[in-house]
């Protein structure tokens, strides 16, 4: 789909696209929306709705779930698969209030639903909330874009829910074979726990990936930073954000101590030492004990003898 010709995000009157195969039955709703300050567009089916959005990008969509030719669920999936339209909140209108239909609506990308016959005050309240939230989210995303930050939101299934243009550029360059909605394999370890990891893309470029934790919508936020040139050992250690215990373990590794020795010195079981080493390797972006020891020897401050 080509970039829609007109964006209504800055318009004074928010634009609502009402998609229903029997639009005459919603004449009262459309009139009330107009009275409430919305500009209302109407489409009789999903295909017409997609054509409308080639011309005007609405601020919200009221979408009938059950329509001939292309269901509302399929229409919503098409909307969400288009980067130029994916930000639009979709509210389903349905006579189906059973759990399976509701879940199908959310799974296809809807943010809410109202049951037919619709109650206008309820629709207005939901529209106000979702259009406001969508505008705030778009402003935040634009701020990220202007700052050229590599930000990625990952859902609970490990799929990319949103990524900034800079993150898109870097991740596609680092892992060209990864799908648009899949996190590259070299970044996946960063989802394990909050903190920073030093990772290398398929082309050898080094990145620092910071897991900023879970957001309020059940997604994990990652901050991706591409390193220009070589990274000093001390900078790499600082970026890795090792815990004090991990720093102690790494220090003894650099001194040639075995896991059993380290366990005896620090009062830890060998299994616990191994777990610390796994975290250290992941955060430093190394695969061997020797590589970790070399970094530690070059970058750790003295004084842990």
CATH number of the domain within which 288 lies: 1.10.10.10
Which of 226, 252, 284 is the endpoint of a domain? 226
- Residue-range definition of the domain harbouring residue 128: 6-145
Mean per-residue pLDDT, 16-45: 89
Which of 100, 124, 145 is the endpoint of a domain? 145
Closest among 66, 135, 121, 11 to 76, alpha carbons compared? 66
Task: Kindly state whether residues 109 and 166 are assigned to the same domain.
Answer: no
Using 50, 70 and 90 to split pLDDT, how confident is the model at 146?
low
Mean per-residue pLDDT, 7-31: 76
Residue 2 pLDDT: 46
Which of 84, 111, 145 is the endpoint of a domain? 145
Question: Does residue 305 lie in a domain region?
Answer: no
Using 50, 70 and 90 to split pLDDT, how confident is the model at 178?
low
49-102 per-position pLDDT tens digit: 999 998 999 999 999 988 888 899 999 999 988 878 888 999 999 887 777 888
Question: Does residue 233 lie in a domain region?
Answer: no
pLDDT over threshold 60, residue 1: no
Q: How many domains does the chain have?
A: 3
CATH number of the domain within which 61 lies: 3.40.50.2300
Task: Kindly state whether residues 174 and 215 are assigned to the same domain.
Answer: yes
Question: Does residue 236 lie in a domain region?
Answer: no
Mean per-residue pLDDT, 199-220: 72
Mean per-residue pLDDT, 282-293: 75
Sheet (strand 160-163) strand order: 160-163, 150-154, 220-226, 206-214, 195-200
Closest among 172, 190, 173 to 182, alpha carbons compared? 172
Mean per-residue pLDDT, 132-151: 70
Using 50, 70 and 90 to split pLDDT, how confident is the model at 199?
low
236-274 per-position pLDDT tens digit: 666 667 788 888 888 888 888 888 889 899 999 988 998
Task: Kindly state whether residues 106 and 222 are assigned to the same domain.
Answer: no
Q: Quote the Cα angle for 7-13-15, to 5°.
A: 55
Task: Name which of 22-31, 38-47, 156-165 the model is least confident about.
Answer: 156-165
* CA-based torsion, 124, 125, 131, 132: positive or negative: positive
Q: Quote the Cα angle for 106-110-114, to 5°.
A: 95
Residue 184 pLDDT: 77
CATH number of the domain within which 193 lies: 3.30.450.20
Phi-psi region of 195 (alpha: psi -120 to 50; beta: other; left: phi over 0): left
Task: Kindly state whether residues 270 and 201 are assigned to the same domain.
Answer: no
Identify the DSSP state of 182.
Answer: B
Sheet (strand 60-64) strand order: 39-43, 15-19, 60-64, 90-94, 112-115
Using 50, 70 and 90 to split pLDDT, how confident is the model at 281?
confident
Task: Kindly state whether residues 41 and 128 are assigned to the same domain.
Answer: yes
Mean per-residue pLDDT, 134-151: 69
Residue 203 pLDDT: 62
Question: Does residue 294 lie in a domain region?
Answer: yes
C-alpha–C-alpha distance, residues 96 and 105, integer Å = 10
Task: Kindly state whether residues 222 and 248 are assigned to the same domain.
Answer: no
């Amino acid at each position: 789909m080509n970039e829609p010709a007109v964006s209504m995000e800055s318009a004074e009157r928010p634009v609502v696209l009402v998609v229903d195969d029997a639009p005459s039955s919603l004449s009262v709703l459309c009139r009330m929306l107009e009275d409430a300050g919305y500009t209302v567009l109407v489409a009789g089916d999903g295909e017409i709705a997609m054509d409308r959005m080639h011309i005007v990008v609405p601020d919200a969509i009221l979408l009938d779930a059950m329509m001939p030719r292309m269901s509302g669920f399929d229409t919503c999936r098409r909307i969400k698969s288009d980067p130029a339209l994916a930000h639009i909140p979709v509210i389903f209108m349905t006579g189906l209030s059973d759990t399976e239909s509701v879940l199908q609506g959310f799974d296809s990308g809807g943010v809410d639903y109202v049951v037919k016959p619709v109650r206008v005050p309820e629709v207005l309240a939901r529209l106000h909330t979702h259009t406001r939230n969508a505008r705030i989210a778009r402003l935040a995303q634009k701020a990220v874009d202007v700052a050229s930050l590599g930000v990625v939101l990952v859902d609970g299934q490990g799929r990319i829910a949103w990524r900034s243009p800079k993150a898109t550029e870097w991740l596609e360059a680092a892992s060209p074979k990864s799908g648009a909605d899949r996190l590259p394999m070299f970044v996946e370890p960063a989802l394990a726990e909050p903190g920073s990891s030093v990772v290398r893309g398929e082309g050898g470029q080094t990145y620092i990936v910071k897991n900023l934790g879970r957001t309020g919508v059940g997604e994990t936020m990652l901050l991706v930073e591409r390193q220009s040139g070589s990274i000093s050992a001390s900078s790499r250690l600082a970026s890795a954000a090792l815990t004090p215990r991990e720093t102690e373990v790494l220090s003894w590794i650099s001194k040639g101590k075995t896991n059993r020795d380290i366990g005896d010195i620090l009062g830890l079981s060998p299994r616990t030492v191994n777990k610390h080493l796994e975290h250290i390797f992941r955060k430093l972006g190394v695969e061997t004990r020797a590589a970790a020891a070399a970094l530690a020897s070059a970058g750790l401050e003295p004084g842990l003898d």
